[in-house]
Amino acid sequence: MGPILALTILFAALSDAAYVGVTGCLVAIRWLADTFPGTNPVRPPSIVRLYRASLAALILCHIVRPWLAAASMSGSSGFTSNLALIPTILSSTHVGRVWYVNSFAVAALLVATLLRMRAGRRVADWPFVLALILMALAKAASGHPAAAGDFSLPEISMLLHYLSIAVWSGVIIVSGLLILPYLAEFSDPNTVWRYGRILSRTITWILPVILLSGVFISYRELNGKLNGLWLSGWGKILIAKLILVTLALTLGALTRFRCVQCPPTNRRAALMVRLVRAEAAVMIVILCVSGLLANTAPAVDLASGRAGDSNKAIRSSETANVSGDQARVRSSSTWPLGSLK
């Protein structure tokens, strides 16, 4: 693994964590308002700090992305030489067009956040929702499905997958590590149960979207050949992720049937906190595995029953032609904003 690929995977993981953090915080804050109707919602101060840190990380990844694109296209790790390629990449490549879309989304999210932070200023939810959707669209247009063309079925499936995964993992991580422990300590069990029911109901609705889009994307990435699961590096990573997802679903089912659907008690509230916290830990590992999965070449060439070397496949899957003032690429693998698979 070269330094550019390692750096790309690092920023992919950071970008995913930041996007999930922003999404989870925004959804959880909205749920807290529904949990405490007609009053000032109780929320831990740490959720505001997590949101700000996640937003700062999103901005950082967005700024770094063009340089990583230049490094991937040129194959060079020179800072100055790659910096000189950025204007051409932003003006004449698919990566540049996607970067501008993501720029608008990041700017909209930042402005909406700053307006909401002002004392007494009320901001509707739709600017935040629009920004998150545009970011997911940029992610979908930067990953493997982008090779099928703009707004193709694979790209739309990836968009739905990104959004549903971000909500699922985001609310589980934020709820398990911040919200539920805080509510269990400072509120009565009924409050914990109201929040828990909203959490359980929402995840129940988005799970079919996650599973259907995930099956379609995985089948396509395996080129319709299931033996790619055990013959390719991409498939083996996918198996590891599926095991972790199964564990997360099991913990979620235990939370639903042993806590949420039973009468609220302090003992069950403590059990709910432990279960969701454990699920949050599993989600964090899933995000790390997802970053590695998105930056590994998919198993698309298994006609001979053998999977090629991942790093070599990644390099060959990036159609790049950098010469003088012209650069042209349609990346199907590695960008810092396209790894929530």
Domain ranges (residues) in the chain: 3-330
Of the candidates 236, 225, 341, the one whose C-alpha atom is nearest the C-alpha of residue 290 is 341
Give this prediction's pTM: 0.81
Instruction: Enumerate residues 6+ apart whose C-beta is below 8 A from 201.
Output: none
With a cut of 60, say whether residue 323 has pLDDT above it.
Answer: no
Tell me the pLDDT tens digit for each residue of 245-284.
Answer: 999 999 999 999 998 988 988 888 899 999 999 999 999 9
What is the model's pLDDT at position 325? 38
How far is it, in rounded angstroms, from Cα 105 to Cα 236?
34
pLDDT tier at 139 (50, 70, 90 boundaries)?
confident
**112 near 123, Cβ under 8 Å?**
yes
What is the model's pLDDT at position 42? 66
With a cut of 50, say whether residue 122 has pLDDT above it.
Answer: yes
Average pLDDT over residues 114-128: 76
Of the candidates 336, 251, 332, 335, the one whose C-alpha atom is nearest the C-alpha of residue 285 is 251
With a cut of 60, say whether residue 311 has pLDDT above it.
Answer: no
**42 near 187, Cβ under 8 Å?**
yes
- Bridge partners of 7, per DSSP, are none
What is the model's pLDDT at position 220? 81
Which tokens is 295 given? 């930056």
Average pLDDT over residues 100-108: 93
- Alpha helices by DSSP H, listed for 75-188, are 79-92, 94-117, 126-140, 153-174, 180-186
